[in-house]
Amino acid sequence: MNAFATSIAGITLALPIAFTAIAKPIPESASMDVEFQLPKIDTAMYARPYVAVWIEDDRRKPVRTMQLWVGKDEWLKDLRSWWRKVGRYDRELVDAVTSATRPAGEYRFVWDGLDDAGNRVEQGEYTFYVEVVREHGGRNYLRQKMSLSDSSFTHHIKPTEETGDIRLQYSVK
């Protein structure tokens, strides 16, 4: 072997081989049904709660705000955890997802597996969050870890002072 080939061989052996994992998106048919209850609370000063429902990835980066129920913009900050992560940074998103507060009752919505930018999320570990705050009432901050892949699952989050039963049903058809 000549000197050039030897030095090339030495360099080649010294270079680390980098393999990049290619992220695989969740299946196109994947979606998650969310059943959410707000309990009837008997109190003289009942106010409808402010609610934020969102998903974060395993790096705790917000991926999708699914629901945001507030009466006026000035109350967004009362949803402290969601506000610190998402609300104060993305006015356009706030305008796109905000709706009115809701009375006690049962609600259902579907997450289509897309992030806030409209891209299908990658398979991996995520956390589902619910923050419920009521003026003259309580504050509940709930989370459920979940693994999004090509396998279906169901999770139940137990009722709290401000929430009823919450059911997550991720399905891949």
What is the C-alpha separation between 61 and 126, in angstroms, rounded? Answer: 9
The reported pTM is: 0.82
Per-residue tens of pLDDT for the chain, all 173 residues: 555 444 444 444 444 545 455 679 999 999 999 999 999 888 888 888 889 999 999 999 999 999 988 877 677 778 878 878 877 766 666 766 777 889 999 999 999 999 999 999 999 999 999 999 888 778 899 999 999 999 999 999 999 989 999 999 999 98
The residue written with tokens 């992030």 in the block is 115
pLDDT of residue 148: 97
The CATH number given to whatever domain includes residue 154 is 2.60.40.4070
What is the C-alpha separation between 122 and 119, in angstroms, rounded? Answer: 9
DSSP 75: G
pLDDT of residue 6: 47
Cβ atoms of 146 and 168 within 8 Å: the answer is: yes
Number of folded domains that form the chain? 1
The 3-class SS string of 115-141 reads CCCCCECECEEEEEEEEEECCCCCEEE
- H helices, E strands: number in the chain: 3, 9
Tell me the residue range of the domain where 23 lies.
3-171
Cβ atoms of 65 and 128 within 8 Å: the answer is: no
